[in-house]
Chains A and B, each alone.
Chain A
Amino acid sequence: MNQKNLRKFRWVISLLFLVSTALLFVDYRELVPEKWYSTILFLQFIPSLVSFVRVFSIAAAGCLVVLLLTLLFGRIYCSTICPLGILQDFFSFLSRKLRIRKRYRLKKSYSLIRYVFLALPFIFLVFGGIFLVYLLDPYSNFGRIFSGLARPALVGINNVAAGIFEKMHIYFLYPVNYKGFHWATIWFPAGILGLVIWMSFFHGRLYCNTICPVGTLLGLLSRLSLYRIKMDKSTCTRCGKCAVVCKAGCIDFRNMTLDFDRCVGCFNCLDTCDTDSIKYQHAFKSAGNNKMDDSANSKRAFITGTMIYTLGLLGLSKSLKANIRAAGTGNTNLIPEEKNHPVSPPGSISLKHFNDYCTACHLCISVCPTGVLQPSFLEYGFTGMMQPRMDYHTNYCNYDCTRCGEACPTGAILPLETGVKKLTQMGRVKFVIENCVVYTDNTACGSCSEHCPTQAVRMVPYKNGLTIPETHVETCIGCGACEYACPVRPYRAIYVDGNEVHRMANKPHFDEMEIESEEEEFPF
């Protein structure tokens, strides 16, 4: 394989990783089969590392593969596998097309910043938890950006398009009822996205060589790499062409040296050298120039893209209004809800397990069909911010669904068999009769019981032929359907209090029904 092909090869592989990973996070039509999730995400370093630490299983050994790849070839993870890295390459590509920055130059190594950002999360991990790890993990940041920003934008575009088609009575696209845009936490992924765009537009891979702890870790390891990019001082003419294309800014062409620690393995430099003096290993032949051609259309494309995105957000804001639900009587004499714990997703074992292993990549939020999973704000405490929680004011957990567990790459949410899921008690129902509309207004309701899949909430005779809820906490699984359905505001009459440790609920039991003898005649 010659140099030119190596770069193209990297291009193809990286696109494959970027597109497939991004698809998982924006797949609102549930097109990607659940069994592909673990394959697509196998090599993502931090989730795999978390998973590996949790179970020590070969199935979670993606991080070891990455370490091995780094020992062999350097930080190729950063340019082929890491979705945030490839996303930055996309922005750098735009930057070149738009002639914002066409040339890179040698940057100094910000070693102190790098090692601080590498050390802090690990120190915090020992004393506090996974918080700093997931704030800095490039995969999780990518996930939050795509789950929190790209997905709603795409849904918005879909809804605008669906609206146009439905005017013509064509229904193959349908509007998607987007639930929950969280202003309280969206600033973080938005900020990271802004930072990444700015850095990649003007400074190449600066993010990867200052802030990213995975980049720094693999950089340290790459000092031992078997194959590396080297400059041949005997033939180098110091023309500087290689340094101009180096996004990492790690080529010092004047001294004919290369800081391989910071090299992200993009191979852009390999096919620029006229004298074949910069080589990966030493087996490549010169491939000549392969400058990317300019396109006058790119500015237009950028503007169009921006407009589509804005249009998408506009479409979204329309569907957001749908979340403002009709409040009941607005009675202020109601008793406030008293919740001791937040509710963590089914399969997360306990709040501790979940908080320990969740990197808040928000893949579960993306795949959740009802939108009950939402980023938390302070429900798990400050150091659990953005870790998903079951938000029963937004929606409730679908009884037969196990998608979040199937998707979770770290094992913070373990996959459950449907039968087990249907008995997994995430929380317990609490009923406040004084808030119930049957009690306060003497009118029929039954909304909570109607939604309850296990009839842990049953309607029992009350007075005047009315029925009122009765709760059976042992069969409650804490799915939150009752809380979501309760019409009383501002405080609901029925809600779920999270279990600190998930339990198994009893199977709903009912006696055999007596089958009445079939009547021969019509009853009228």
Chain B
Amino acid sequence: MKRREFILKSAGAGLLAGTSLAAGRIDKLLPNEPANPGLPFDLVAVKGGSAAAMFDKAIAAMGGMSKFVKKNQTVVVKPNIGWDSSPERAANTNPELVGRIIEHCLQAGAKSVYVFDHPVNEWTRCYKNSGIEFAVKKAGGIMVTGNSEGHYHSVQIPKGKNLKSAKVHELILESDVFINVPTLKTHGGTRLSISMKNLMGVVWNRTFYHGNNLHQCIADFTTFNKMPHLNVVDAFRVLKRNGPRGVSVADVVEMKYQIIGTDIVATDAAATRVFGIEPDQLKHIPMAVSLGSGTSDLNSLRISRITM
């Protein structure tokens, strides 16, 4: 295990050095101050592979899943399963990626891995037609409904400006490890939907967000004391317009990207760049920064860049 880790790490580092040197951006190799000294990298960006293969590379560069999941811990994985829509339509998280994350968690010794979302469309159809239910069961995870108010419990969000309290799914509150797996896509109201926006699916009373300054509520929730330990942004297929649901496959572009990181704000900042806009243009990013939830200054982070 150690040997493999070593090889993977060196490969990652070598690749990073190679690509960075080739690109002439040697400064990126020498970050100013690491946000999380326990990890070799704060953020990993991978491109060019399948969603599952990119995750293998990314999590290895992060130091392996065992950095996040200890033996006998419970894990909750929160993909975007908002829509009754097939994987090709890219409205939901890539099922292959969700399956692979579960496999890594179980390999790291997780006791059980739960997966849920609070879908927008009729939930049994979302779970089924997104391909995620099948992938989860195949990988050994447990699908749980997010469609019942009884599962959601009131919590306080003292640092929130507009969102002072919310009803949050019990799996988020109870599980030892929380992995957020959004998909990068456009959104008619917020412009983009990434990690922070994906957390609206752990909350019951979403309508409140829309009526009370959507961006501020999204940012407010990042001050809640149970934030994802890891954010995995699926940008393998990207819904480039008509999001968050999309009308047809014509709205989708295969970008073959993946961003993973521990800082939800930084992860979203990197993902907005991948999409082609500046982080400050996604209003809840600067709002979350001012609430102290993370940084959008990518230059301050140790970033691993891997091309497959």
Q: How far is the CA of A150 from the CA of B225 in the complex (A)?
A: 43
- On whether the beta carbons of B188 and A446 are closer than 8 Å, the reply is yes
Q: In the docked arrangement, what's the CA distance between A159 and B188, Å? A: 36
User: Contacts A322-B149, A444-B189 given: A453-B251 contact, CB under 8 Å?
Assistant: no
Mark A residues whose CB is within 8 Å of B. Answer: 30, 159, 163, 166, 169, 171, 174-177, 318-319, 321-322, 325-329, 369-370, 398-401, 437, 441, 443-447, 449-455, 458-459, 465, 467, 485, 487-488, 508, 510, 512-513, 515-516, 521-524
**Pairs A-B, 7 closest by C-beta atoms:** A446-B189, A328-B211, A459-B188, A449-B188, A487-B211, A175-B148, A446-B188
Closest to B306 in A: A522
Shortest Cβ gap from A438 to chain B (Å): 8
CA distance A513 to B240 in the complex (A): 9
Q: Is the CB of B84 within 8 A of A450?
A: no
Q: Are B210 and A445 in contact (CB under 8 A)?
A: yes
8 new A-B contacts at CB < 8 Å, known A441-B213, A485-B120, A515-B253: A163-B150, A169-B112, A319-B149, A326-B208, A443-B213, A444-B215, A450-B189, A459-B188
Whether a CB of chain A sits under 8 angstroms from the CB of B298 is yes
Verify if B159 is at the interface (C-beta below 8 Å from A): no
Question: B143, B240, B245, B305: which has the most chain A beta carbons within 10 Å?
Answer: B245
CB pair B214–A522 under 8 Å, yes or no, is: no
Q: A345 CB to closest chain B CB, in angstroms?
A: 16
Q: Within the complex, which residue of A319, A325, A450 is in contact with B244, where a contact is CB–CB below 8 Å?
A: A450
Contacts of A455 in B (CB 8 A): 242, 247
Q: Would you give the 0/1 interface string for B175-211, flagging 1 where the beta carbon is closer than 8 Å to chain A?
A: 0000000000001111100000000000001011011
Shortest CB distance B226–A (Å): 19
In contact, A329 and B283 (Cβ under 8 angstroms): no
B47–A175 contact, CB under 8 A?
no
| Chain B: CB-nearest residue to A509 | B247
Which of A166, A326, A398, A446 is the one whose CB lies under 8 Å from B84? A398
Contact A453 B188 (CB under 8 A): no
Q: Which of B207-254 contact A (CB under 8 A)?
A: 207-208, 210-216, 240-245, 247-248, 250-251, 253
Minimum CB–CB distance from A391 to chain B (whole Å) comes to: 15
In the assembled complex, the CB of B135 is this many whole angstroms from the nearest CB of chain A, namely: 17
Cα distance A441–B121 when bound, in Å? 27
With A369-B124, A400-B125, A445-B214 already in contact, the answer to whether A458 and B149 are too (CB < 8 A) is no
Across-interface contacts of B250 in A (CB, < 8 A): 510, 512-513
Expressed in whole angstroms, the minimum distance between the Cβ of A314 and any Cβ of chain B is: 13
Q: In whole angstroms, how far apart are the Cα atoms of A319 and B145 in the complex? A: 14
State whether A175 touches B150 (Cβ < 8 A).
Answer: yes
Using Cβ atoms and an 8 Å threshold, which residues of chain B touch A329? 211-212
A166 to B120, CA, bound (A): 23
B147 contacts partner chain A, Cβ-Cβ < 8 Å: yes
Which B residues lie within 8 Å of A437 (CB)? 210-211
Compute how far the CA of A427 lies from the CA of B85 in the bound complex, rounded to whole angstroms: 23
A443 touches B145 (CB 8 A): no
Beyond A443-B215, A446-B188, A446-B189, is A513–B210 a contact (Cβ under 8 Å)? no
Partner of B189, one of A159, A327, A459: A459
Q: How far is the CA of A510 from the CA of B47 in the complex (A)?
A: 28
Q: Which of B121, B189, B251 touches A513 (beta carbons < 8 Å)?
A: B251
Q: Given the known inter-chain contacts A450-B245, A510-B241, please indicate yes or no for A321 contacting B305, CB distance below 8 A.
A: no
Residue in B149, B247, B250, B270 whose Cβ sees the most chain A Cβ within 10 Å = B247
Given A326-B207, A510-B251, A513-B240, does the pair A447, B84 have CB atoms closer than 8 Å?
A: no
- Say yes or no: is B13 at the interface (Cβ < 8 Å to chain A): no
Cα-based distance from A238 to B112 in the complex (angstroms): 74
Contact assessment for B142 and A171 in the assembled complex, using a CB-CB cutoff below 8 Å: yes
B211 proximity list for chain A (CB < 8 A): 326-329, 437, 445, 487-488
